[in-house]
Amino acid sequence: MTMRVTLLGTGDTTGTPTVGCECETCERARARGVERTRFSVHVENERTGDSLLIDASPDFRYQFLRDGVSLPDAAVITHVHFDHLDGLGNVYRLLDSLEVYAADEIDPVTGESVAETIENDYHYLDAVTVRPTTPLESVSVCGLDVTLVPVDHPPLLCYGLAVEDPETGAKLSLTGDTTYDVPDASRDVLADPDLLLADAIVPAHLCEYHPIGGRHEDDAGVPRTFGTKHMTREGALSLAEDLEATETRLVHVAHYYPPEEAFEHPLAVDGEVYTL
């Protein structure tokens, strides 16, 4: 028995195609019948039949209908930006119960943890039970070992995570929304995955269009961070090499990729399925 990983949403905050956008990349996505909706990942533990949702996309309803995956038994929320959180409202009348795991660290910007924000914002949903979770400490969820890890996504606290099958050793790692500056302790937890899902919002050559450019350049001067919040494609691939990932798919992808690059390996699109 295995982990079955379905990429429900592989796009950034506007998705691809972007509403109202007629850029060549969005037009090519429409012509090819592919899309990148807002970020979300479904992990089914085929041994137990339980399923875990990683981030609750605003496109929740559409994603679940399109890909035909089972409704989640539990969820993990990495941070409180709307494109990762607001899909929780979709559990209304769909689920009798949903345990939601989220970090218990107090964010100095908001004055509350991710767990507390979910508790406060979704207090009206009887189905939701929030499970405050300490980063870097593994918890058992849906028969899988889940570990949240701090990453770098200012100004808010944000987390990546590792999901491991304790019986088979299969491992899925997600960087979460982050720059290349992932702390060493977090890298240790994310290391050696069978599959890595890495934030790669744009290619490095687009950093010239960001108001502050790029950061965390490699030895050749290629920026591995786009601005302040996300990795470039090159940064994500560099991190994947650092982590010794067996397979890497790039997610949280923006429609700013040039059309000749936007659908090339290893950039993911919605609906991809991996068995670990």
Quote the CA–CA distance of 185 and 265 in Å, as a whole number.
Answer: 29
Number of domains into which the chain is organized: 1
Residue 71: per-residue pLDDT: 97
Residues 86/64, Cβ–Cβ less than 8 Å: no
Residues of the chain with confidence (pLDDT) below 50: none
pLDDT at 155: 96
- Is 274 domain-assigned? no
Q: List the CATH number of the domain containing 55.
A: 3.60.15.10
- For residue range 11-37, list pLDDT tens digits in order: 999 999 999 999 999 999 999 999 999
pLDDT value, residue 2 = 87
215 belongs to a structural domain: yes
Which pLDDT score, from 0 to 100, does residue 34 have? 96
Whether cis (ω within 30° of 0) applies to the bond prior to 17 is: yes
182 within domain boundaries: yes
Distance CA(88)–CA(83), nearest Å, equals: 11
Residue 213: inside a domain, yes or no?
A: yes
Residues 113 and 153: their CA atoms lie apart, in Å, by 15
243-265 pLDDT, tens digit each: 999 999 999 999 999 999 999 99
- Cα–Cα distance between 44 and 141 in angstroms, integer? 11
- At residue 255, the pLDDT reads 98
User: Does residue 133 belong to any structural domain of this protein?
Assistant: yes
What's the Cα-to-Cα distance from 202 to each of 48, 107, 224, 273, rounded to whole Å? 37, 27, 10, 23
What are the backbone angles phi and psi of residue 192, rounded to the nearest 5°? 60, 45
In this structure, is residue 273 part of a structural domain? no
- Phi, psi (rounded to 5 degrees) for 87: -70, -15
pLDDT given for residue 117 in this prediction: 97
- Distance in angstroms between the alpha carbons of the first and the last residue of the chain: 9
Residue 54 maps to a domain: yes
Domain that residue 253 falls in: 3-267
Q: Is residue 174 part of a domain?
A: yes
Question: Taken in order 176, 182, 185, 188, is the CA torsion positive or negative?
Answer: positive
Q: Is the pTM of this model over 0.95?
A: yes
